Chains A and B, each alone.
Chain A
Amino acid sequence: MSKIIKIVSLTALSPIIIFGLYIISHGHLTPGGGFQGGVIIASAFVLVLVAFKNDIKLSHKLFVFFESLGLVFFIILAFLGIFKNTFLYNFLANSSGILGRTIQFGANTGCLNSGGVIPLMNLAIGIEVAAALSLVALFIIRHKDQNKTKYD
């Protein structure tokens, strides 16, 4: 691609990632959550991959690491609930500690320090979805370039 597309894609990378992190971190207050924010972050990496193709050093090992990290984080959070009650128990909700502020029924302004284990699970799913979808795009784009000499 041309130099203009490369520079614009690198400039748009950080605002898109920050917007995705906002969607993930406010998943328990506003519409959105881990899946949606993860897709937004993945779209930033897809933009860079389409613009640069093979000119950028972007290894698939980093994405594989983050994908596994997100899933393992989710499963660890699920098993931590066993010590309180059952598997996947929300052990932080209404504990008046970290992420444990109580919320009244009805319309309210909302507080980031609430929701128990839900924001952490949003974060885990967001990391996993972002890494997985950018990995799909990376494999497909790099595969097309591998066969370029064969078909052209």
Chain B
Amino acid sequence: MKNEFKKYNFLNIKIIILIVLFILLFASFATMRNFGEPEKTEMDDYFIRNAQEQTGSNNVVASIVFDYRALDTLGEAVVLFTAVMGISLIFTKNRNFSVLKKNEQNN
């Protein structure tokens, strides 16, 4: 019985870290900007002013994703391809190891 009480010690290091993070979270909430009033940067103004005329697409988000930052989209597509490749390796039951056996025979 005593050992079980020791397990649920409420003043261990994990609880203290959690409380500190909670206080920091609310401190960051208090210093947040109001909703709908983001900080204005030059990059935002440039995209909103020039995206329609430069890329010819009304959707500014699409023009950023597929034109200004298209390299990021290419990486995203490759990540998805690799993830599906890994899943196909995990979920196939009868794996074909014939290539491996051929190499062993040659050696």
Report A's interface with B, CB cutoff 8 A. 27-31, 33-34, 60, 67, 70-71, 74-75, 78, 87-88, 90, 93-94, 100-106, 108, 110, 114-118, 121-122, 125, 128-129, 132, 135-136, 139-140, 142-143, 146-147
Contacts and interface: CB of A to CB of B under 8 A. Distances in A.
Given A102-B53, A103-B53, A122-B66, A128 B81 contact: yes
B62 A103 contact: no
Nearest to A29: B58
User: Interface majority SS on B: helix, strand, loop or mixed?
Assistant: helix
A61 to B, nearest CB: 11
A121 B63 CA distance: 11
A29 B90 CA distance: 39
Given A121-B66, A139-B87, A139-B88, A108 B80 contact: no
A125 to B, nearest CB: 6
Contact of A115 (B49, B53, B56): B56
Contacts of B87: 135-136, 139-140
Contact of A67 (B65, B73, B81): B81
Given A27-B62, A104-B52, A128-B80, A118 B92 contact: no
Contacts of A78: 70, 74
A101 B56 CA distance: 7
Contacts of A118: 55, 57, 62-63, 66-67
Contacts of B73: 121, 125
Contacts of B70: 78, 88, 121
Contacts of A71: 77-78, 81
6 contacts: A94-B53, A106-B52, A108-B58, A128-B81, A132-B84, A143-B92
A139 B53 contact: no
A64 B80 CA distance: 13
A28 B88 CA distance: 33
Interface residues of B, number: 30
Which 7 A-B pairs have CB atoms at the shortest separation, nearest pair first? A28-B57, A115-B57, A139-B91, A143-B91, A88-B70, A114-B56, A132-B84
A102 B71 CA distance: 24
Interface in B6-62: 49, 52-59, 61-62
B81 to A, nearest CB: 6
